[in-house]
Amino acid sequence: MADHRHKREAEARRIKLHARNVLGPLAVLATASAVTIGVVASDPAASDLSRLSAPAAASVSVSTSADRGQDELTRSENRVKATASRDLPPPAFMSKTAVATAIKAATKQQWTTDDLNIWNQPGDKAKLLGELAEGKKVLVTGREMWGRTEIVLNGKARWVTDGYLSDDKPVAAAAGLSMEPCPDGSVENGLTDGAVYVYRSVCHAFPQITSYGGWDAHGEHSSGKALDIMTSDVELGTTIAEFLQAHASELHLYDVIWRQHIWTPERASEGWRLMPNRGSATANHFDHVHVSVY
């Protein structure tokens, strides 16, 4: 019995020794690994480097690129849709009923301030129909879309570019007229734009005239709408009066008075009408041509 027990104890010691020999290096390895992990975790630079090289980081990067690509694709599609949306106006907006209603309700008139292209509708698919000259009076509906304004021409709805319609007729020099400044700019003080137009036109057409009467406190002159063109030369004065008559429409003239006679566009068919004697050459307009505008 003693021998068998001794044998078993010896074998048990050998097993324990073998286990110690095996587990010892493993423990040392485990301890070393733990120390290494602790050092890496405690070193910010090593930690950052570890994150950048980790497979998870690459996965995140790929995912972000995919998302960005999807966003770019979406934005691109949106741009295409936004552009396409301007090809044609909404059907309801351009329906026969909507257009007819707009035309029927149109009462406001405006002037073109530049030569304008005429379009059949707003949008990128609009067809060019022609051109509208500067200074034309047109009927507007008040409807606008995509940088264009709806007008009425010959009973039909048409479209022109925004920003080139005005409530007032633009002052522009017609043939034989001028808006270039004259040598004596002081004559224009107190005058309306229409009276200035008359002054500049006469000034350039008849440079021999060196004296003018502009604004003063009596009669039509107090409104700034009248001008006196000083001359006692019958032939020259008559030529100036006829020049004004010929351009009465462009200059928006109210009347012309010369040598005790008055002429008005409204009664043009009556020609020059004799005026009552006012007692002096100046009062009877023998030494100047008087002209006034609306």
Whether 45 is in a domain gets the answer: yes
Q: Is 69 exposed, middle or buried (0-12, 13-18, 19+ CB in 10 A)?
A: exposed
Distance CA 12, CA 7 (A): 9
Residues 281 and 200 in one domain: yes
More confident residue, 47 or 167: 167
Residues 225 and 269 in one domain: yes
The confidence band for 245, taking pLDDT boundaries of 50, 70 and 90, is very high
State mean pLDDT over 9-38.
47
Q: Identify the CATH number of the domain in which residue 241 sits.
A: 3.30.1380
More confident residue, 269 or 136: 269
Whether 172 is in a domain gets the answer: no
DSSP string over 121-181: SSSTTPPEEEEE-TT-EEEEEEEEETTEEEEEETTEEEEEETT-EESS------TT---SP
pLDDT at position 134: 81
* SS3 label, residue 292: strand
Last residue of a domain, one of 116, 138, 166: 166
The average confidence (pLDDT) of the chain is 79
Whether 174 is in a domain gets the answer: no
Q: Which range marks the domain in which residue 100 is found?
A: 96-166
pLDDT at position 131: 93
pLDDT value at 253 more than 50: yes
Whether 265 is in a domain gets the answer: yes
Reading the block at residue 104, the tokens are 């029927």
pLDDT at position 156: 94
**Strands 128-132 and 288-293, bridge-based pairing:** unpaired
pLDDT at position 88: 81
Q: Identify the CATH number of the domain in which residue 120 sits.
A: 2.30.30.40
pLDDT at position 133: 86
pLDDT value at 46 more than 50: no
Whether 233 is in a domain gets the answer: yes
pLDDT value at 3 more than 60: no
Share of the chain above pLDDT 90, in %: 60
State mean pLDDT over 262-284.
96
Residues 195 and 240 in one domain: yes
Query: Number of structural domains, the chain?
Result: 3
Distance CA 205, CA 198 (A): 11
Residues 100 and 61 in one domain: no
pLDDT at position 145: 93
Residues 19 and 74 in one domain: yes
pLDDT at position 73: 42
Whether 90 is in a domain gets the answer: no
Last residue of a domain, one of 58, 84, 110: 84
Reading the block at residue 154, the tokens are 């010959």
Give per-residue pLDDT as tens, 60-80. Answer: 344 444 444 444 444 444 444
Residues 213 and 263 in one domain: yes
pLDDT value at 192 more than 70: yes
pLDDT at position 44: 42
pLDDT value at 243 more than 90: yes
Beta bridge partners of 119: 128, 159
Residues 107 and 143 in one domain: yes
pLDDT value at 268 more than 60: yes
Give per-residue pLDDT as tens, 144-174. Answer: 999 999 999 999 999 999 999 988 776 656 6
pLDDT at position 8: 46
Give per-residue pLDDT as tens, 66-119. Answer: 444 444 444 444 444 444 456 788 899 999 999 999 999 999 999 898 889 999
pLDDT value at 215 more than 80: yes
Residues 20 and 101 in one domain: no
User: What are the Cα distances from residue 137, in Å, to 60, 108, 132?
Assistant: 66, 10, 10
Last residue of a domain, one of 166, 195, 210: 166
